[in-house]
Amino acid sequence: EVQLVESGGGLVQPGGSLRLSCAASEFTFNNYWMSWVRQAPGKGLEWVANIKQDGSEKNYVASVKGRLTVSRDNAKSSLYLQMNSLRAEDTAVYYCAREEGYCSGHDCYFYFDYWGLGTLVTVSS
């Protein structure tokens, strides 16, 4: 069965850095876009970033551009999120998610079909 396991969360001071990892197994990792999605305590879901199969294309939500960087190592079936200049509003559970997709005619549909359990990042002094 497909598994996604996040790690690297913890308590960090404002302005600090953290690196999250997501270990993928039981599927061909380099065939899929991958995303990070976060959820602040008691709040809704917020998509953060995604990365193309070969790492050549990355997208970010505006609030994290220039501070968070998504990357991947296909040889290790791993996804990463380097988090710098952290702010209190970055406090959240961070999920990695696989983006399944298919095309029908000119339209290509994507959705998050597998999710990890999440890792909690707390930014506080």
Partner 1 sequence: DIQMTQSPSSLSASVGDRVTITCRASQSISRFLNWYQQKVGKAPKLLIHAASNLQSGVPSRFSGSGSGTDFTLTISSLQPEDFATYYCQQSHIAPRTFGQGTKVEI
**Least gap, CB of 115 to partner 1 (angstroms):** 4
Binds partner 1 by CB under 8 A, chosen from 53, 59, 71, 77: 59
For partner 1, the binding residue among 19, 25, 28, 113 (CB under 8 A) is: 113
Spatial separation of the C-alpha atoms in residues 43 and 114, rounded to whole Å: 21
Bridge partners, residue 78, by sequence = 23, 73
Query: With contact defined as beta carbons under 8 Å apart, do 12 and 18 qualify?
Result: yes
* C-beta of 29 vs 36, nearer to partner 1: 36
**75 CB-near residues (< 8 Å, 6+ apart):** none
Q: Give contact residues for partner 1 (rule: CB under 8 A).
A: 35, 37, 44-47, 50, 59-62, 95, 100, 107, 109-113, 115-118
